[in-house]
Structure formats: C-alpha cells, structure tokens
C-alpha cells in the first residue's frame, strides 16, 4: 500500500477538523427535522458526507467553502434517504422543502433565533442527549459521540474503561431515547436543571480531550478547546443557564487554555509547568477567566468546577514556578476530593502532596490511591511515579515506571517525552555505577 500524498494528508487533516466542528451542527439540524428517533439516520448521512469529502477532495481539490460543501452534500444525501424510505413517502415534498429551508446554500443568511432559545444547534441536541431518563455516563458518552465526533475508543480513555463498554453504552442510550420518545427541544424551568450537569460534564470532557489528547500525533488539540469554550460561553450568556457552576467551568477552561501556547516547544514536545515560558501565556484570556470566576461566586454553591478553577487560577497568577501557592492548591484538592471521587483528581492531589510534603509522601499517597481505583492502567500514574522516584535518586525504579507509561500511551509527543525521561534514568544509572566503581577502587 502506497503512503498517502501530501494532498491526501492535508485533506485528512482538514476533514478531521471539520468533523469535530461541523458534524455536531449538521447532525443537530437533521435531528431537528427528523426527530430524535432518527438520530442514527442523521449521523449516518453526516458520516457519509465526510467519507465523500475524503474520496473527492484529493483529486478535485478542497472547495473554497468546505463547510458549505459538507452541508450541501449532507442535505442531498438526506433527500435521497427520504425518497428511498417508505415511511416518509406521504411527507416527502414537505420534508424536502423543509430541508432546503433549514440547510440553505453557503451564502444564505441563517434564520434568526428567538431570544429565549439557546443559540446553537449543538447545544439543543446536547440537552436532548442529556435527558434525565439516561444515567449521566450514558448521557455524556452519547453527546461526545454525536456532537464531538469522538470515537468509542477516545471516550473509553476519558472514562478509564473499555471501548466495548462505551459502544454498548452509546447503543443503549440511542435505544432509550427512541423508546421513550424524547422530544428534540430545550427544556425550561425545573426541567432544565437535571440536564445541565450532563451538558457541563460533556463540555468539560471535550475540553480535556483538546488539552491532553488521548491519541494521535498531537498532545494538544486547540480546536477542541476552542469549541468547548464556545459552548461554555453560550451557556454562560443564556439567562436560563448562566449559573455559578457554568461560570466556574468557563473560568477553568479559560485559565487552562491561556497556558496552551507554552505547553509544547517548536518540535511539538511537552513542556512541564516549571519549564514553560510564562510570557507566552494569554493574559487577556486569564483576565476573562478571572471575570467568570468572580461571577461564579454568586450564591452558596461550591461545585468541583469552582475548586478546579481555583487551582488553575493559582497557577495562572503565580509569576514563576517557585512562587506557586502549593499549600493552597493542596487545600483546594482536599476539598475537591470530598465532593468528587474521580481517580484522576486523586492523582493530581498526590502531585500536590509531593510539592508540599516531598516526593516520598507523594509516592505513598499515590500508592494508596492505586489500591482503590483503576489508575494502574493510566499512563500518567506511572509517569508521575517515575518523576517522583527520579527526584528521590532512584533511577532504576523510575525507569520501570517510565517504561510502563510508555507502553500505555499512543500520543507521539507523550512518547517522545517519556523516552527522554527514560534516557535520563539510564544516564543516571550509568553515572551511579561509575561513581560506585571509583569508590570501590
């Protein structure tokens, strides 16, 4: 099999980006027309449009307006589907006309939305996916698949579970929405509140996948971070959803996104926090985060997003690594673990313990957590252990952990970082042997 050409690589990269940005919008429009019971039809049509782009664009060239091309192709495929399906025969002219009105050509102006609506099709579908008849993990898995274009494998990594388990979860979620005849709408009043947590968790996971990708060549996928921030801003601006925890989540994402320009070097390698050039941090974004953090203080609610935003603010406001208020960060993590038993939060707390009380205490804390959670299969667990063991001058033990972490990740830049740490351990071992030999002499 011949390797892909540069044009094919460019097309693949573009369609991947468009899939993340446009698929959710197109699926939302089609689901609004056909109803949530035909969610699978909407997904299939959009998927086929993406496949056609991959086949057509390398030879015909990327169109001037690729988003419009995808919309037009999806619309045509949907019309073909309608004409083939008997169930739509009696409504065929009506639906085709509606498709043309709701999915216009590229230059057509979008129809204005009512002020009371949430002004984004993806958010409307997200609220539908996050119906309280579904368990929260089922809600977010379906929303990530439908709206974010995530594969079951990517979602499985976010939940530290198997790909097969996620695939079953998504299938069951679709079936339950269909069987329960869930309407495609945005709830209001008391009906909105039960769904908001699922929506926020979905936005949070989209951002996290962008901030630290679970696969592929890049550890940072800024397009996903931007999409999550855009969705969070829509929620924060809408009267029905502008609640303290929404502002807290938006603040958290803004603080973390502000540091993205300094997270990798020109070669694409990861830079740890103490290695980052803080002059590259986006100060306007930090200021925007502080504004939303202040808005999140309204009322008495303290969510895990509040505490995580407080931790991120500590990092953003420190002029350098040595000035970071690690005791305050540890106190925030202590409070956070009381309301969120996520093993990833426990892992991060162990890092804070190490910064305040030393690497040996950090290792002891992490070993305790490993006995109570599935963290052992997560590469960062071993990367952190390797780093702490290295700080204790245990290069052989550190090397074992770095090697394990290397085996557990597929992200190219993460692997390059871990290989470098492994080489450092091997050099330290050789240096120790030479010193021991000299002392023996």
pLDDT above 80: residue 302: yes
- Residue 58 resides in a domain: yes
pLDDT above 60: residue 438: no
Residue whose C-alpha is closest to residue 130's, from 83, 191, 70: 191
Query: For the chain, what is the domain count?
Result: 1
In order of 6, 20, 158, 373, the CA distances from 210 in angstroms are 25, 11, 12, 24
- Residue 85 resides in a domain: yes
- Residue 185 resides in a domain: no
pLDDT above 70: residue 92: no
> In this predicted model, what pLDDT tens digit does every residue of 100-111 receive, in sequence order?
555 555 444 444
pLDDT above 70: residue 112: no
- Residue 36 resides in a domain: yes
pLDDT above 80: residue 209: yes
Strand partners, 418: none
Distance CA 212, CA 221 (A): 7
The per-residue pLDDT of the chain, averaged, comes to 82
Q: What token pair was written down for 364?
A: 């002891």
- Residue 331 resides in a domain: no
> In this predicted model, what pLDDT tens digit does every residue of 172-208 receive, in sequence order?
998 888 887 776 666 777 778 878 988 998 899 889 8
Distance CA 193, CA 245 (A): 12
Distance CA 236, CA 334 (A): 27
pLDDT above 60: residue 140: yes
The residue segments making up the domain with residue 78 are: 1-104
Distance CA 365, CA 386 (A): 14
Q: What token pair was written down for 146?
A: 């439908």
- DSSP-based three-state secondary structure for 409: coil
- Residue 41 resides in a domain: yes
Q: Could you give the angle at which helices 6-34 and 92-102 cross, rounded to 10 degrees?
A: 120
> In this predicted model, what pLDDT tens digit does every residue of 343-381 receive, in sequence order?
889 999 999 999 999 999 999 999 998 887 778 888 999
> In this predicted model, what pLDDT tens digit does every residue of 24-76 receive, in sequence order?
778 877 777 777 777 888 888 888 888 888 888 888 888 888 888 888 888 88
Mean pLDDT of 211-230: 79
Mean pLDDT of 16-30: 73
Mean pLDDT of 224-249: 90
Cβ(143)–Cβ(28) under 8 Å? no
- Residue 424 resides in a domain: no
Q: What is the pTM of this model?
A: 0.78
pLDDT above 50: residue 114: no
Distance CA 175, CA 259 (A): 41
| pLDDT for res 127 | 85
Residue whose C-alpha is closest to residue 166's, from 149, 177, 179, 153: 153
pLDDT above 90: residue 401: yes
pLDDT above 90: residue 338: yes
Cβ(66)–Cβ(18) under 8 Å? yes
Mean pLDDT of 287-310: 95
Higher-confidence residue of 181 and 382: namely 382
pLDDT above 70: residue 420: yes
- Please provide residue 270's backbone torsions phi and psi, each rounded to the nearest 5 degrees: -70, 140
| pLDDT for res 117 | 42
pLDDT above 50: residue 137: yes
Banded pLDDT at 284 (limits 50, 70, 90): very high
In order of 59, 148, 223, 412, the CA distances from 63 in angstroms are 11, 23, 21, 31
- Residue 382 resides in a domain: no
């Amino acid at each position: 099999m011949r390797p892909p050409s540069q044009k094919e690589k460019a097309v693949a990269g573009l369609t991947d980006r468009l899939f993340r940005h446009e698929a959710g919008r197109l699926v939302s429009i089609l689901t609004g027309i056909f109803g949530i019971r035909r969610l699978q039809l909407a997904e299939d049509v959009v998927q086929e449009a993406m496949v056609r782009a991959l086949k057509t664009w390398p030879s015909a060239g990327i169109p001037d307006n690729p988003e419009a091309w995808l919309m037009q192709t999806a619309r045509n495929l949907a019309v073909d589907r309608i004409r083939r399906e008997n169930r739509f025969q009696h409504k065929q002219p009506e639906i085709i006309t509606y498709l043309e009105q709701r999915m216009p050509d590229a230059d057509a102006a979008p129809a204005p939305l009512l002020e009371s609506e949430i002004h984004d099709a993806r958010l409307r579908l997200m609220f539908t996916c996050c119906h309280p008849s579904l368990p929260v993990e089922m809600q977010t898995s379906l929303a990530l698949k439908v709206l974010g274009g995530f594969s079951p494998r990517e979602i499985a990594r976010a939940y530290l579970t198997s790909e097969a388990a996620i695939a079953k979860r998504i299938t069951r979620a679709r079936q339950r929405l269909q069987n329960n005849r869930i309407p495609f709408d945005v709830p209001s009043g008391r009906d909105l509140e039960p769904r908001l947590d699922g929506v926020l968790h979905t936005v949070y996971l989209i951002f996290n996948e962008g901030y630290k990708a679970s696969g592929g060549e890049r550890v940072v996928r800024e397009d996903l971070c931007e999409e999550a921030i855009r969705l969070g801003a829509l929620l924060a601006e809408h009267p029905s959803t502008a609640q303290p925890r929404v502002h807290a989540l938006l603040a958290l994402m803004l603080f973390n996104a502000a540091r993205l320009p300094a997270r990798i070097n020109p070669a694409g390698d990861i830079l740890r926090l103490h290695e980052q050039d803080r002059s590259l941090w986006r100060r306007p974004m930090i200021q925007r985060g502080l504004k939303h953090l202040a808005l999140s203080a309204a009322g008495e609610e303290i969510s895990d997003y509040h505490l995580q935003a407080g931790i991120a603010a500590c990092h953003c406001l420190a002029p350098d690594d040595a000035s970071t208020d690690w005791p305050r960060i540890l106190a925030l993590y202590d409070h956070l673990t009381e309301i969120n038993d996520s093993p990833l939060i426990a892992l991060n707390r162990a890092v804070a313990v190490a910064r305040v009380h030393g690497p040996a205490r950090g290792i002891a804390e992490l070993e305790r957590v490993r006995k109570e959670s599935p963290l052992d299969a997560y590469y960062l667990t071993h990367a952190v252990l390797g780093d702490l063991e290295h700080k204790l001058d245990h290069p052989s033990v550190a090397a074992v952990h770095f090697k394990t972490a290397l085996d557990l990740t597929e992200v190219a830049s993460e692997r390059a970082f871990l290989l470098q740490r492994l080489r450092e351990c091997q050099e330290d071992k050789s240096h120790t042997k030479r010193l021991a030999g000299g002392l023996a002499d």
